[in-house]
Structure 1
Amino acid sequence: MGDVARIVLKRLGLGLLTLFVISILIFSAVEMLPGDIAQAVLGQGATEENVAAMREQLGLDRPAPVRYLEWLSGAVVGDFGVSLVSGANVSQSIGPRFANTLFLAAYAAVIAVPIAIMLGVVVALLRNSVFDRVANVATLTSISSPEFFLGYILILFFAVKTGYFPALAKISDDMSFWEVLNRTFLPALTMVLVVMAHMMRMTRAAIISLLSSPYIEMARLKGTPAWKVIVHHALPNAWAPIINVVALNLAYLITGVVLVEVVFVYPGIGQLLVDAVTKRDFPVVQACCLIFAATFILLNLAADVGAILTNPRLRHPK
């Protein structure tokens, strides 16, 4: 395990370095926006004295590197400052929203991951058949369609025409678990259609690439059934790329939900980010972007660790 621990620590160090660079980019992007933040908060009718007082209150009269270090040191301990619009603590505002986003991503993942892997194995077994061709066309269509387009199509058929599910995914604390599942089914299904297609195609490609291996040919020559060749011989060796693509798609489920949350008016961190951009609430924008980046890097690290643990050649590099 020494080699594994060393590789994981190396990946973790690179992830922290990447997150540090991203934090600089986020802070610099906000700094380079046109206009004065204090003026935007107070409005066009504010006097110069009020603008100067607001700039001092927000710390804008200090050099940018000093403000960046203060912001970064606060972000490390979970303190992202105060909202410019509501005056509320940013961390307290983001916490429930991020929990809602994690719930939606977990809901979609529970549906998408097992179905994608099973369909990928079945399509690999039936490759070049009619079912394989239909599955390829369906997955390509799903991958090529934007999330908001799929969302509106689902709203049209399952909410407007049939009324099976609500068009808006507004949830509250007084709802039961099953009611929350019902209200969030359409946004979850939208995300499932996008990520499941990608995972299924990658699973199919991983299985098919292994079917030409010598040990697979030997198992076939011995008369082993096709399903047993897949389950007992090909699938265990395909776990590394499958785990990698699953982890990357889970990262997308969390960081790519902005459009889905806006379409269904779901109270997640993506909707909060859009609202903050509209209102020029820059502390909230910076916090949301940094959380998205940290989540994506963490799940990429999980993908690397999963690939290492399932591949002996990576566990014992020469």
Structure 2
Amino acid sequence: MPGVLKIILQRLALGVLTLFIVSIVIFTAVNMLPGDFAELILGQGATPEAVASIRRDLGLDQPALTRYFEWLGDMLTGNLGTSFAQLNFQTNMGGGEMKTVVSQIAPRFANTMFLAGVTAAIAVPFALMLGILSALYRNSVFDRFTNIFTLSSISSPEFFLAYILILFLAVLNPILPSLSNIYEGMGFGERLQKTLLPALTLTLVVTAHMMRMTRAAIINLLASPYIEMARLKGMSPMRVIVKHALPNALAPIINVIALNLAYLITGVVVVEVVFVYPGIGQLFVDAVKIRDIPVVQACCLIFAGAYILLNLTADILSVLSNPRLRHPK
């Protein structure tokens, strides 16, 4: 166990270092975006004095290094700042309650997590089932059809799949709503119905990776001596795969599932925009349009943190599920 604990601590330290490096990249990239928020809100007729005044009020006149360390310190305390758009709104409206970046992101992030959860609940069992059946009936018509279907879905852009599903499930056959107008206080059943179409779009995108990795990992183990022994004992092919092959193929399967779950959180921007889903991806696109730097930086940091966390989780679970990794020679 001390060896496993050491491996886990090493992975966590590496994750923290990676997140720190990513924060530098995020800050640099966001501040290199073309355009200026002060000029954007003042319009073309803005005077240099007015632009300078707004930049001074927002702290944009400070050196980049100073602003980065201030942002990093606030981030470590959970303070992601205040939206520039909110500051502009409060100035024009003459005061009122100020909304922080955290209060803006929290409900959107909850919506994105709900979408990712619904997609994972559909995609993971579906992909595992297809992978097991493809391995069981490999080189059959079913196996070839499954491979063609999954490769076609993953090769198509998300927006194309989204519009195809809207055409068949919302226009020609009005089964599901084409727009996901989620709001606070909505019942679970109604929320699920409005989330189902974007969830099906994401399912088509992520199923192929998980299905093909499951199939490849199981087929790779079917030639092992203990699998041959299980067959000689008279066990059914399905039982051999589920009881003997699948548990030993968990490490690569866990990795690919975690990577696709990370995509469900970080790669939902296009799908959320197509379905007007009020998630963090839609908020990110809106913030980029108006150069709202605090919101853009916070969204990027959440995307990076979620991706790194799920990769670390997959790495740790792979170590725990494989005795050879738990006890390296």
Q: Structures share a fold, TM > 0.5? A: yes
The code of the aligned residue for 1:120 comes to: G
Q: C-alpha deviations, 1:176-232, integer Å up to 9, x for none?
A: 110111111100000111112221111001100000112112222333221121112
SS at 1:86's partner residue?
helix
User: Which residue is equivalent to 2:2?
Assistant: 2
| Equivalent-residue separation in structure 2 for 1:167 and 1:135 (angstroms) | 27
Q: Is 1:77 matched up with 2:88?
A: no
The code of the aligned residue for 2:283 comes to: L
The code of the aligned residue for 1:300 comes to: N
| Equivalent-residue separation in structure 2 for 1:273 and 1:185 (angstroms) | 22
Residues 153, 94 of structure 1: CA spacing in aligned structure 2 closer, same or farther, 3 A cutoff? same
User: Which residue is equivalent to 1:51?
Assistant: 51
SS at 2:258's partner residue?
helix
Equivalent residues of 2:40, 2:290 under 8 A apart: no
- Given candidates 254, 260, 284, the residue that maps to 1:243 is 254
User: Which residue is equivalent to 2:311?
Assistant: 300
Equivalent residues of 2:31, 2:293 under 8 A apart: no
Q: C-alpha deviations, 1:72-115, integer Å up to 9, x for none?
A: 11112221111111233111101100010000000000111112
- Given candidates 115, 128, 131, the residue that maps to 2:142 is 131
Give the Å deviation of 1:47.
1.9
| Equivalent-residue separation in structure 1 for 2:262 and 2:268 (angstroms) | 10
| Equivalent-residue separation in structure 1 for 2:221 and 2:261 (angstroms) | 25
Give the Å deviation of 1:2.
1.1
The code of the aligned residue for 2:31 comes to: E
Q: Is 1:257 matched up with 2:256?
A: no
Give the Å deviation of 1:25.
0.8
Give the Å deviation of 1:303.
0.5
Residues 52, 18 of structure 1: CA spacing in aligned structure 2 closer, same or farther, 3 A cutoff? same
User: Which residue is equivalent to 2:92?
Assistant: none
User: Which residue is equivalent to 2:28?
Assistant: 28
Give the Å deviation of 1:283.
1.2
User: Which residue is equivalent to 1:61?
Assistant: 61
CA RMSD, 1 decimal: 1.2
Runs of 4 or more, structure 1, over 4 Å off, are none
Where does 1:193-208 land on structure 2 (aligned, <5 Å)? Answer: 193-208=204-219
Residues 262, 52 of structure 1: CA spacing in aligned structure 2 closer, same or farther, 3 A cutoff? same
Q: Is 1:191 matched up with 2:202?
A: yes
| Equivalent-residue separation in structure 2 for 1:167 and 1:224 (angstroms) | 48
| Equivalent-residue separation in structure 1 for 2:294 and 2:106 (angstroms) | 14
The code of the aligned residue for 1:176 comes to: G
Q: Where does the alignment leave 5 or more consecutive residues of structure 2 unmatched?
A: 88-98
Q: Where does the alignment leave 5 or more consecutive residues of structure 1 unmatched?
A: none
SS at 2:256's partner residue?
helix
Equivalent residues of 2:272, 2:281 under 8 A apart: yes
Equivalent residues of 1:41, 1:84 under 8 A apart: no
The code of the aligned residue for 2:235 comes to: T
User: Which residue is equivalent to 2:110?
Assistant: 99
User: Which residue is equivalent to 2:122?
Assistant: 111
Q: C-alpha deviations, 1:259-318, integer Å up to 9, x for none?
A: 000000000000001111111111111110111000000000010011011000111112
SS at 2:200's partner residue?
helix
User: Which residue is equivalent to 1:270?
Assistant: 281
User: Which residue is equivalent to 1:279?
Assistant: 290
| Equivalent-residue separation in structure 1 for 2:271 and 2:76 (angstroms) | 29
| Equivalent-residue separation in structure 1 for 2:207 and 2:34 (angstroms) | 40
The code of the aligned residue for 1:129 comes to: S
| Equivalent-residue separation in structure 2 for 1:50 and 1:260 (angstroms) | 39
Give the Å deviation of 1:175.
2.0
Give the Å deviation of 1:27.
0.8
Q: Give the number of equivalent residue pairs.
A: 318
Give the Å deviation of 1:246.
0.8
| Equivalent-residue separation in structure 2 for 1:37 and 1:279 (angstroms) | 7
Equivalent residues of 1:255, 1:295 under 8 A apart: yes
Q: TM-score, normalised by structure 1?
A: 0.97
User: Which residue is equivalent to 2:15?
Assistant: 15
Equivalent residues of 2:214, 2:253 under 8 A apart: yes
